[in-house]
Amino acid sequence: MLRIILKTESVRRPYLTVWGDDYGVESERNHRFLLRKDGRLNMMRGFWGRAALAAALVAGGLVSAGGAPATAARAGASASLGACWLSNLGFGLGEDTNAMDYVTRWWGGAIQTIIHGLMPRARYWSLTIYHARKGAMVSYYDQQIMAKSSGSSFTFSIGGSRSSKGVWIDPTAGGADAEGYLFLRAYKVSGKVSLPTVSYASSGSLPSTLTSCSAMTSELRATLTKASKDHPAKGQTVGQTAKRKLWPQNADPYAVWSQTVDAAKSVPASDVNKVPLLTQLADPNVIYHAVFFNITRGDMILVGTLPPVSSKAPASGVRYMSMCIYPNDQSHAPLGCLDDSRIKTDSKGQFEVVISPDRPDDTSNWLNPGDTQTGALILRWVLPARGAQANFCLPGLLYRQPGDTVVPPLPAGC
């Protein structure tokens, strides 16, 4: 038996539901009708009653949009949650002051997640798929997404049947999870970000957590909070094993840059929870370097040259570069940041950045740690060119006492 019922939960949110073989469709008109066992239709009279019935029959596959009978009815369920994203989580997401992060839930496999919206006006933006337990992160940056879009809008589909509209990806290959987190990141945003809509479709039924924005975001926040507590940083810096990998041969992490940190290679796809949540959710379009500072040794001085910043990155140059300081390497909240547009250079294109609690005469390149004596500095290159073109300058480092003017030598290649 097929039942077609238009229900109303409230005056503001009426909806149409079609039930039969677990099929559910939503619409927005407040009229009710019922297909009885004898095949006759009981329906409220009037234009909207007839319109609701027609919408139900087309959506349910009983007739085509042109009015001709469809070959067969198709079972399934869908839900549109609107611009349903979380932000300002308060843990993980160790970004800089120019970055905006938003997270929603993605499901794949038999369920398709559909993201649709307008291109953010930003220096750089991306959509990145992270798995909850097992699987490699997958990311698309702005140019990759818009190359398969029309005008200023885009569609990004995950799982389900292959879509011919926009970007489509199946992240479950190789036995990976069929669920996880989807992040929208934007750097140097102009104006307000118009968040894209989030919707789900399935050939079967949908989990109850995907049927409303409040249910989805509540479950998502709880899941991320648990993931953060399962592997807490507890305000500490990286462990000895990680230090040996990032600073091999007993190098001093307070005076020497770490090895290159590539997020895509730092998270084990076989079990993403082996690393802290902040590492799990790092941006694979960014190359990171880290160094710790210790103000008891003196002010930390960094001397270098800016990389070539280009809108054509990663074909050439970088899209964005920044230096941010944190209380520790697992902190989500920066104490301060300098980016490529704020760092002041001399006539030779060189800069000198100072990490000091004392205000220097020229504050253009000052990073103030406040009361923090030991912390971490993270250098980011967003969408850097790879290979031979990626030989960007890692700044020279040294400590000096207040009043001294000595600077470290410019490293080779700068």
CB 7 within 8 A of CB 17: yes
In this prediction, what percent of the chain has a pLDDT beyond 70?
Answer: 75
The three-state secondary structure class of 374 is strand
Structure tokens at 223: 């899941």
Exposure on the CB side of residue 340, measured as CA atoms within 13 A: 17
Domains in the chain, CATH or no CATH each: 3-75 (no CATH), 99-230 (no CATH), 240-400 (2.60.120.1600)
The overall average pLDDT reported for the chain is 79
* Alpha-carbon separation of residue 389 from 69, 120, 229, 315, 385 (angstroms): 59, 28, 40, 9, 6
DSSP secondary structure letters along 23-87: -B--------EEE-TTS-EEE--SHHHHHHHHHHHHHTTSB-TTSSBPSS----EEEE--S--B-
C-alpha 144 chain-centroid distance: 15
Residues 6+ apart with CB under 8 A from 192: none
Whether the model clears a pTM of 0.85, i.e. scores above it, the answer is: no
Structure tokens at 232: 């807490």
Report the distance separating Cα 53 and Cα 68, nearest Å: 15
Q: What is the pLDDT of residues 268-286, one digit of tens each?
A: 899 998 888 878 888 999 9
Q: What is the pLDDT of residues 325-375, one digit of tens each?
A: 998 766 778 899 999 999 999 988 899 999 999 998 888 999 999 999 999
Q: What is the pLDDT of residues 147-183, one digit of tens each?
A: 998 889 999 999 999 988 899 999 998 889 999 999 9
Q: What is the pLDDT of residues 66-102, one digit of tens each?
A: 333 333 334 579 999 999 999 877 655 567 889 999 9
